[in-house]
Amino acid sequence: MKARLMGLAILPIMLMGIAITVLTFTAIRKDVDMDTERTLRGVVYSYLASVEQNEGSYEQKADGSVWKGDYDISHSEAIADSIKEDGGVDVTFFYGKTRFMTSVKDDKGERIVGTDASDDVIEAVLNNGETLFSTHVLVNGQDYYGYYVPVFQEGTEEAIGMVFAGLP
């Protein structure tokens, strides 16, 4: 009889403990996601502002490099590397759907350029001109939080590329 009463008393306490744990975990996860999105948004717009301060149009030169006016975006790794070193956030510039400049490196220390964004990112950011935050972006086999913004040719609604900021 004592064992039954003890079981009846312990079971609700255990269930309440499990419910509280699940609710707490869910709330913490939501806060982490919101803070991460806010951080990545700030990084991506700061990087984009540093590119946009250069006058002129975006264009791809005959040698394959991407420029904004007199600024060579394809070889602007110093800014992206500084962001990576200071805040742990990777930055990538896409021209069209293709990665042209990035702080993301493979196992050999080589920058991962020349690869394309996923179809859902292309649809949302390039085709629809939307910003996109995702808690699951696969970059070089690693899962990232990612924030993408479209890059528009000055004075147009044409998205010519996008900027990505991400945290593993």
Q: What tokens appear for 34 in the block?
A: 């919101």
Please check whether residue 97 is in contact with residue 116, taking contact to mean a CB–CB distance below 8 angstroms: yes
pLDDT tens for the chain, 168 residues long, are: 677 777 777 877 777 778 777 777 777 778 778 888 999 999 999 999 999 999 999 999 999 999 999 999 988 899 999 999 999 999 999 999 999 999 999 989 999 999 999 999 999 999 999 999 999 998 888 999 999 999 999 888 889 999 999 999
Look at the alpha carbons of 155, 124, 102, 98 in this order and tell me if their dihedral is positive or negative: negative
